[in-house]
Every structure is written in C-alpha cells, then in structure tokens.
Structure 1
Amino acid sequence: MVASGSADCTIKLWDAKTSLEVHTLEGHSNLVNSVAFLADSLTVASGSADCTIKLWDAKTGLEVRTLEGHSGSVQSVAFSADSLTVASGSYDRMIKLWDAKTGLEVRTLQCHRNWVRAVAFSADGTNFLIAVDKNWVFFAGERVLWLPSYHRHFTCSSTLNGTLALGYGDGRVSVIEFDPPFSTRH
C-alpha cells in the first residue's frame, strides 16, 4: 500500500500492485505535509498544517485519534521501529514523541533554533531519532551535520538504517550515510 498527503487536506491510500485508490481519508482542516505507515501497515499517521497529527486505520479508512499539542504546522511524522512511538516535527521548532497506542504525548524535544522539517527513527531497532531543521541534521539529540545552503531547500526526506535522503524540487537527491560505529556509540 502507498499513502499520499495533499494540499486538498486529504490522505489517499493506494494499492501499489493495481494502482487503484483504496481509501480517501478526510479530517484535516489544512494541507497534509507528511504521512507514515506503522510497521504492520495497518495504521497510518498524517501531519498537517492544521497543527495536528491524525492516526488512521488503513483497513477501514477511519480516523482512530487526533494528536494535539503543536502550535505550528506539523511538517513530518514517523513511527519508531518497535511501533511504540510516533514522532512529529513542526514549525513550532519542537519534536514531540507520542505513545502510538494511546495517543498521549510522551516527551517534547526543544533542541532546534529553527522549524523542524523532517523526523525519522533509525530502522535498526535502536530507535534513535534523526531530525533535520533548516541548517542541521541531528542524530540521537546531537548536532552531527551542518547543511550547506544548497542542501537546505529540500522538499522531502526519508531515512533507512542510518541513511538520510533529501529530495529537491529540481529532481536532485542528496544521500547522507552515517557510519554504523557512529550509531552504536550512543
């Protein structure tokens, strides 16, 4: 299944084999900036400019719960590898961690001087959070990489096993790989 978020305030779920639309998820009051699947592919998270995160049942297309607490547009959402935590990054310069089962806010990370554009967990089971603000890449809460100006205007991002990919509107993709010894020192 593939999930897509849109400026029309909806999320669409697609069958990747047939290219057919499975569900249209409606409930956000502003554009949808980010979507993510839980590891079991049965739950979808969406982050919106309406300052909320919504969790959806991918089988039925129904909203499960709304997570509220950001004061700015939610730019990115991600599930931890163990499926227990949802992370959200926002224009309010905060990362919030949420209990994926209850929807309760677990922790707020306020380490950014600028808005948070991307969040992701490492996929190796360590659940270290990778975050990107306007100028820096953070790994496990530490600044690890300053982004030169030509790398700052990315439109999307993704991480997998310590590798960060940044996509740009002009078709460029930057791939940044963190060495495994780096991730094990934390």
Structure 2
Amino acid sequence: MSVAFSHDSARLASASYDQTVKIWDASSGACLQTLEGHSGWVMSVAFSHDSARLASASSDKTVKIWDASSGACLQTFKVGTELFKISFDTTGSCLYTEIGAISVDAPSVTDPQSPRYQGGGLSSDGAWITYNSENLVWLPSEYRPSCSAVSGKTIGIGAGSGKVWICSFEVDTVQDS
C-alpha cells in the first residue's frame, strides 16, 4: 500500500494488506523487522526526519508511532477515519495528514488516545472544518470531502460531485490582559 525511505536512505518501510509494517535494509533487501499491532490494512508509512521513529496509518482508523530501531509501539492515536497520506514535519513533533496535523511530541502512551490536532483541519467525519481540534465551520453534505489536503490554515477539498474547493481562514484569538 505504501513505502517510504528513512531520511538517511538506509532503510525502507513498507505498509501492507496483511496488517503489518516491515522495515527493510535498503542495501541488502533483508527484512530487519516486522511491526504488528494494527487490526486493518496498513495504508501509509513515514519516517521522522531523524529516522528514529516511523508512523503508520491503518484502515482500522488508527495511527501508530513506532521506535524504528526497536520496533516498539510508542503511541497509538484513534483518528476515526482512514488516512492515506502521512508525513512528519522536520522537527518530528507533528505528523501531517489529509485531515490536519497531529501533535506527536507527547511522552510514550501505550493506550490508544485521541489525537491533538495543531492548526487547521477537518473532523474525522468530514462534517467540520476545525482549528486545534475545535469545530469551527459545519460543512453541508455537498461540500464534504471524498479527499482532502491541509496546509496551515488552508484546506483543499475534493467533493463527491467532482468539484474541488479551497478554503483559507483566519482565527481571531482573545488574549487576557
């Protein structure tokens, strides 16, 4: 379903229909590890920029963050939707997805948790435009995404009708004095 090189190009991760992620030696082709824990097809994988962590997104509607050396699962997020595109930001503190950016800099937690989104995004059911996980704008059914992309405060949505629309927004914050 997906493959991704580590940023040092030493390893390749693969996502599979068999609910596993495999990490391969890019030089020899040897399988170094098989990561198990998803209960659905693994749709996407991505290494952090320091190549220390690996993220995987599954049809079981979870995202897992793995230690790329030991294979230990560090975090599991219940995202509530299937994700097909994931990537780490350069600092490794954020995972970009098609519904928004998930903060992943929290300490390791073994129990599944709800993600904390940073900035603009979409609710997992596609019914809301969100900001920092708060619902902002309700979307009528004809504007709901069949696919989407998020970049900062701009959201691109491909609707089932075949129409594409782009929404940019600003958020006013009230500061206490």
TM-score scaled by length of structure 2: 0.62
The aligned residue for residue 101 of structure 2 is 138
Alpha carbons 1:46, 1:77 under 8 Å: kept: yes
Deviation digits for residues 119-174 of structure 1, max 9, x if unmatched?
21002x24311123xxx3234231622367575337xx8x99xx99999xxxxx99
1:61 counterpart SS class: coil
The aligned residue for residue 89 of structure 2 is 122
Q: 1:126 to 1:48 in 2, by over 3 A?
A: closer
Structure 2 CA distance, aligned partners of 1:62 and 1:73? 22
Structure 1 CA distance, aligned partners of 2:46 and 2:77? 15
Alpha carbons 2:15, 2:45 under 8 Å: kept: yes
Per-residue deviation at 1:105? 1.0
Does residue 60 of the first structure (1) align with residue 55 of the second (2)? no
Q: 1:56 to 1:174 in 2, by over 3 A?
A: farther
Alpha carbons 2:15, 2:44 under 8 Å: kept: yes
Alpha carbons 2:6, 2:12 under 8 Å: kept: yes
Per-residue deviation at 1:117? 2.2
Does residue 43 of the first structure (1) align with residue 11 of the second (2)? yes
Deviation digits for residues 62-101 of structure 1, max 9, x if unmatched?
1111000000010110011121100000011111111100
Structure 1 CA distance, aligned partners of 2:31 and 2:21? 11
Structure 1 unaligned spans of 5+: 1-32, 168-172, 178-186
TM-score scaled by length of structure 1: 0.59
> In terms of Rg, which structure is larger?
2
Alpha carbons 1:81, 1:127 under 8 Å: kept: no
Structure 2 CA distance, aligned partners of 1:89 and 1:59? 26
Structure 2 unaligned spans of 5+: 104-115, 127-138, 159-163, 169-177
2:84 counterpart SS class: strand
Letter in 1 for 2:51: S
Among 50, 57, 76, the alignment partner of 1:89 is: 57
Q: 1:45 to 1:176 in 2, by over 3 A?
A: farther
Letter in 2 for 1:114: T
Does residue 152 of the first structure (1) align with residue 143 of the second (2)? no
Alpha carbons 1:80, 1:127 under 8 Å: kept: no
Does residue 113 of the first structure (1) align with residue 89 of the second (2)? no
Structure 2 CA distance, aligned partners of 1:41 and 1:65? 16
The aligned residue for residue 69 of structure 1 is 37
Letter in 1 for 2:121: L
Alpha carbons 1:52, 1:70 under 8 Å: kept: yes
The percent of aligned pairs where both chains have the same amino acid is 35
